[in-house]
Structure 1
């Protein structure tokens, strides 16, 4: 069986205030052309269909057109909701849409109810695990307190139990939206850390033939059977070096997996450049960036006057400007943002307590900070699903 694995469409998202809806529509055209050209048997969309729980009307219209075009192709499609989606809203009318071969899996209670397809070698069970926000699904999995590893493990136990009851030789595919250990994040993914723990081990998914992951925006192979497709478009300059693609996966009669990357259309190249403004404006080597979306980091010791306007005379598509003056490491004027780079919210909060009080928080205080941060995340997630 041939599967096309994609994720993280983020319909409606912009790039530094530049609308991407036309580029997203071009990606959909490319996806449909790939389905036809490669004789795809099923399309897998591993979450974050929309960029927000209440998507814009143009984004909804593009999604609606996409569903109709997929249905017209007669190729089954399985979609799950991601942490940016509202599962309830995305899943509206899923029972009716299911009849058209578009299978929306947005309810955690249905994670062990697969879409069952078949090829010449027998059945393939495709299980859709929507994004599982621990605080919102604990009751479903009968847990008083749990993190991502625990709720995903509980969901996978149900999947394996269902699979064990199916005919011998049934092959299996799981769609999931999570941060799996070994994956490399970018700046454009929303943090899903719970209790200070973000990543779940890949072993959680043991026992199935292929795992189609969403959430991380870079295409990557965790194991031969566990892969991220990545987002089809770049959504931050941290993705400047990404090769945007989909996975074309062939599932053999024995459950073996082979996968090839199908490149996605690139609306405009990304470039990240840094240096003093006069050097950037004069350097002939920078000419190759004139047609790119550009992020500029200026290292002048003092902020140049009217910097962005001057830069746009040479780089008309410059979108982001940052200042990192050339200073020694112990300079007290070093930027606050630089000191915080790479640190989690929990670490920042603990450092603040230590700075104000003079002593680091003890174990009990760290637990209070962790619970407070988790409560904020939970309230935000609950508000998006209501």
Structure 2
């Protein structure tokens, strides 16, 4: 199947006028609802990517759309030069949901991570007593935390890293899941350990059991902050509010984004300890749109949806079913399946096809998914997906890997 009709004209314009920083599948989406999208030619697809977890609640969830509409009719932007009637309520409700003490609002996931890095360094200098400009943050290999210059400074993905230097110093990289390596890297200048609880871009890589419990104990012993990047993994994607909850471990700071904006607008936050976030004083950090009224209204509606536990339960139960079905393909064109909840990394057998080829074949069968690296698919359907829709997608994958 090749792009045709209206699709081809849209793609031609995109390629002429848009910077080529993505390599999208040849599908032009025009409408969406729930777990489904429809392209400009009227073809309907199941969305098995969910905007990299930004659409955990599906496309255009009625409660989220209603919250956005209501706020748009009242007040859109004040900047933080003034108070607005949504900000305090959003911060309180998000802190209560997450069991944290303070909320720093931003816009994108990368901004949340950048903010957490700044806070951790400031805390190290002003509270821990690390010498000026010498703080270090330990990170994991194969990480993905965003695309800003500081963040790609500690990326080992050549596509994200190369030719963007000079880079920001102060980061020490260790193998993900290697507690001994983390322990060896901690020193007197260590401010924080920043890691994803499950690595998304790397292919939904789950660390060994007990790894983060060991990291938490090490942080307590050495007076080091633990920062959990939950931008992709959090907010019910794995069946819990935080993916780190599976280890029964608490971080000092968490970064949130993507699903916090309900798939409507960018909303992000750093949540955590008040004595850590409290190092920020007026004028020392900010964002014109961080915590603006529409963002807070949508964020409050997201918190309401999560407060019932319905989406955590759906992710847990339907995730178990998804993984059961996917594991049935191991040895049949699939080499390995990893993940938790409604989040799976599917390694395509090297003897089969590339991830791109499988993604195109899935598209032809009405399922939209996307490869990461060359031979891994990330499957992350909206949490409103049904068992029948999971069956359709997995059956399509079985055919695609053996085409």
Instruction: Give me the TM-score of the superposition, normalised by structure 1.
Output: 0.33
TM-score normalised according to structure 2 size: 0.32
Structure having the higher strand fraction is 1
Rg larger for: 1
Q: Higher relative contact order by CA 8 Å / sep ≥ 6: 1 or 2?
A: 2
- The structure with the largest helix share of the pair is 2
